Amino acid sequence: MAEQEASGLQVLLSTLQSSCEKDVILNILNVLTDLLSLGTGRRIHYVISKGGSEALLQALAAAARTEPPDHSTLLPLLRLLARVGQRDRKFGLKVQKAEATDIILSLSRRNLGHHLHLIHCLWVLRVCASNVTTGTTLGINGAVELLFKVITPYSKRHVRTVRAAIEALAALLKSKSNSRRAVNRGYLGGLLRLYQDWHHNDVSNNYIYIRRGLLLCLKHITNIQLGRETFLGSRGMEILFTSIQDCLFCKNLDPIITTVTQILRKCYPKEPLPVATVRSSYSFPLPGNAKAEPPCEGSEGDYESNGEEEVEKDLDNENVESKEEDYDLETDVNKLRSRPVLDRPEEELGQYEAMCPELSHHFQELEPESEEEKSLEDRTESLLSTPSYFIPSATSVKRPNYRWRNQSVSEVGPDPGEMDLKVPQQSWTKKEKCRWDPIDEKRDTVEAAQDADSSEGEDPARSHVLTLRPLPEEAAWYKKMFYPECETSINPSPGERLQSSETVTNLLEKHQGDIPFHSPRFYMARAKRVKSIPDYKDMAFPDFWGHQPPPYSKPMLERKYGVQRNKVLDDVRRLIQPGDVIGRTVFDLDEPSHSSPGAPGCLTFFSKFESGNLRKAIQVREFEYDLIMNADVNSNQHHQWFYFEVRDMKLAVPYRFNIINCEKFNSQFNYGMQLVMYSVKEALQGRPRWLRAGHDICYYKNHYYCNTAAGGGMRGKCYYTLTFSIKFPHKDDVCYLAYHYPYTYSAMMSHLDVLEQNRNPKKVYWRQQTLCQTLGGNPCPLLTITAMPDSKKRDDLEQFYSRPYVFLVARVHPGESNASWVMKGTLEFLVSSDPIADLLRKCFIFKIVPMLNPDGVINGSHRCSLSGDDLNRQWLTPSSQLHPTVYHTKGLLYYLRSIGRAPLVFCDYHGHSQRKNVFLYGCSVKETLWQAGCIVDTAVITEDVGYRTLPKILDKVAPAFVMNSCSFLVEKSRESTARVVVWKEMGVLRSYTMESTYCGCSHGLYKGLQLGTQELEEMGSKFCLGLLILHLKSLPCSKKVMAQAALLLDLEEEITDRAQSVVHVPCH
């Protein structure tokens, strides 16, 4: 039957091409019209596949040759051609091949006075012009002039013809040569005037399609530089901006507003960032002859030629989240296979023996004369004093067969009467969130701080004067907070308040000590020893005082309809109505003398503290500021992280902030994410917390670009604006704003101090060593955590020494502070007295580098170290001089592999700026090849699928974790990351990157909520729980361990069954 239909259609088309009988042709055209007017587009595609377009074009050529033209044949032919041409992707080429372009133009010219005939010609002309090559040919032959003649002057007569001509002209102007032709003939100004006429006279909005068609013509013309210049010279910005002011509140006019906004954004005059150079304000001399990161090169016109598609995406699809594409999958099987290689002489590995003291420890402290006899002073001194073993640094001399001199590391016992850290027993299901019980932290912090100060005296070069940033200077508030008993007349001078020891004492006494695992005195002791490029003299209040999570989770911010275009229009108003633009620099990191802080009604900014990042602040209007972030040290890029102080605000006034030098093409700020804010007044009133804040938030491409001079050779780079508005909670407060919850190097170090002070040394084996010194001279800590052996019996010690390793690292990218919060949760769980943590410690030895890039974190970078390199792209061949933390972490992993103790699990904690949820990236040969479309011979390529076990477990136990977000593909661009290198070179099957969103969750218990520090810390503890279950599923366990696990966990039948049939391992 199908063959008969095909043969019947072919007969019709063949007859159409060969017949000269008018009636026969008309009958065939009527049959085709009826055939194509019914059903779906499948019929049209079928006709196209059988040569329908060619037959119709040939019939058109024959009909056009008759004199006079027979319109009874031509009109149905033109209608069919317009209908078929819309679905035929090669229609333009077929028109050229049939030499029909001149025929269509000729018919159009001959029918200028007959609008019914002309409109049919215009329909076909528009379809032909959709092919750029055909459109260019039509333009050369005068199509642009013809169409402009049809649409001008303004008239409401023959509206259908005008609409068809405008749509055809818009299609023609997609060709750049046609756009140039239109500009050169002065048509751009004519289009602007015509648009104004239609706009002013279309009071009832009946001709929206004509107005939008004219805007599309302008949009295509302004895709070329000449078009944009002419548009600006014709006052196009003012005309279009003014025209849509009365359209903004009518939703039916959205097509008009959107197109106008796109044109305005594109034509906004490009200008360089208002900085002398985009290179970082901070530079660091590199050791040897090493050079900082070379500038990124881009083509001169990148910021112009590639913007159009992004504009479309930003404005037309505001609620569509961008998806990552796998564009560079590795398909070379040899490169995907595990290949245990060494990137350094084997004799160098001996130095890492000292970093595994647990393998040679004799546990003398298990004798009666152990921890309880140590004094608090001895413990604190050993806590903060310099370790006695050799610490590799960036300038260390390599010595063959060198063994570290001394591997003794002091151990710290509990404070007398100190409570163990307690964590509620957890179920392994996602029924409820894990919450930490607050601990009593009112220990003798004064004595501990004195010990810390005395330890500083041993190495004066490592400490410096550090003062807390001034508090709010409102006299009445200050007096009420710190001098409630004083008489009204007493008015302490705000500028001198923090210089007074009495005030500092009052401040420390006011601290409630109820923020778990945080001590302001410990923080100060650590912060004083930090080495930074700017040599920080100030300490941010939130880091000193601490953060307590709010008792609720914040929903993702609902995006207001049209908020982005409104912000863009505000930017355009700046250009065309500059009367209220102040343009005053109020903060400048490069030129402090150029700043004018403290001006009446002006906010005061500051960022020169640990992890701070704000380079410049410019007051645009009374309550609006443009902000510029600092690039990473020794770099001219990676602008994303910000953290700064602002003060002198008014109450209940919405301040708008525009961060104008963002780099990523999209951001979670477009999909519900908010920044975070910390109020000093709120903190001192008992609410010390970072909160999600900001409204009218959006992220879009702006008109700034990087010129060659400012970029040090980098050209054509475009920037994006993050804009948000904030109402501050108090007048004359001191507030801090940040990209995400800050977590400084000093916070991490003082957190380790508190954990070490509070652990139970009889149960928790804890060693804090220094992996190496960073380029900046800061120690990078290495932790070893496991369970103490039950006794000095041989079996107990053998079980201790034979535990498998888990290797965890975090914060290789400084701006990913969420990774540190997850790591914080992991560490607190590991040293806690929770029975599950106790069992986990008996199953594994944990090696942890909690911060791989201390220098980047300290100096407020987003992605790089002081060398200007992304350390997570250096794992293939790290430099001991430029990348010491990665070099020595990899060396330690090599050493563990060389003694047959490669870790069971390796995980690198990260943050992700463009996706929601928490998820893992792993490595799989088969999945990578399948995804790339390669044929996989399963007989040749075998693979253990155990890499999927841990993410499947986490999907069940961790509320924020989503298995469907995980990926196990290996990309070429990721071959030098920790995850891939550890998988390939160390042979670690379960080598992962764990990504935590900056935003929130799209699935599960936290769906629709932004993640806070409590949820991130919970993820860290749940990761530990997942490791325990992985151990029970994957490794032989003693009956004692299985029995303990059965009591603690609601295990699957699979694990319970294993307990019955497990191979016996001696109980310890």
| Separation CA 340–CA 145 (nearest Å) | 70
- Tell me the backbone φ, ψ of residue 467, rounded to 5 degrees: -115, 150
**Long-range contacts formed by 21-27: CB under 8 A, 24+ apart:** 22/70, 22/72, 22/73, 25/59, 25/63, 25/73, 26/72, 26/73, 26/76
Indicate left, alpha or beta for 400 from its phi (over 0: left) and psi (-120 to 50: alpha).
beta
Active site residue 167: no
Spatial CA neighbour of 407 closest among 458, 369, 358, 459: 358
Residue pointed to by tokens 């290949």: 339
**616 contacts 585 by C-beta, under 8 angstroms:** yes
* Token digits of residue 234: 């014709």
* Token digits of residue 310: 């992004």
| Separation CA 358–CA 845 (nearest Å) | 9
| Separation CA 587–CA 274 (nearest Å) | 13
Other C-beta atoms closer than 10 Å to the C-beta of 232 total: 16
Spatial CA neighbour of 733 closest among 510, 469, 473: 473
In terms of DSSP bridges, do strands 905-912 and 805-810 run parallel, antiparallel, or are they unpaired?
parallel
Contacts of residue 620, defined as CB under 8 A and 6 or more positions apart, other chains included, come to 574, 581, 582, 583, 626, 658
| Separation CA 616–CA 659 (nearest Å) | 10
> Hey, what amino acid is at 706?
C
DSSP structural state of residue 788? P
* Token digits of residue 623: 């309550």
**631 contacts 279 by C-beta, under 8 angstroms:** yes
| Separation CA 720–CA 666 (nearest Å) | 9
* Token digits of residue 175: 């060709």
In terms of DSSP bridges, do strands 690-693 and 695-706 run parallel, antiparallel, or are they unpaired?
unpaired
DSSP structural state of residue 679? E
| Separation CA 544–CA 525 (nearest Å) | 10
| Bridge partner list, 604 | 647
* Token digits of residue 1019: 């993820």
* Token digits of residue 163: 């609409």
Cis amide prior to 781 (ω within 30 degrees): no
* Token digits of residue 255: 């097509």
Query: Which one is catalytic: 927, 995, 1017, 1018?
Result: 995
Map residue 335 onto helix, strand or coil: helix
Q: How many residues does the chain have?
A: 1068
Cis amide prior to 153 (ω within 30 degrees): yes
DSSP string, 244-305: TTTTTT-GGGHHHHHHHHHHHHHHSPPEE-SSS-SS-S---PPSTT--PPPPPP--TTHHHH
CA angle 308, 252, 175 (to 5 degrees): 30
**83 contacts 75 by C-beta, under 8 angstroms:** no
| Separation CA 232–CA 222 (nearest Å) | 10
Alpha helices of 685-816 — where are they, by DSSP H?
708-711, 745-758, 794-801
**643 contacts 817 by C-beta, under 8 angstroms:** no
| Bridge partner list, 657 | 625, 724
| Separation CA 212–CA 256 (nearest Å) | 6
Point out the residues that are catalytic. Answer: 995
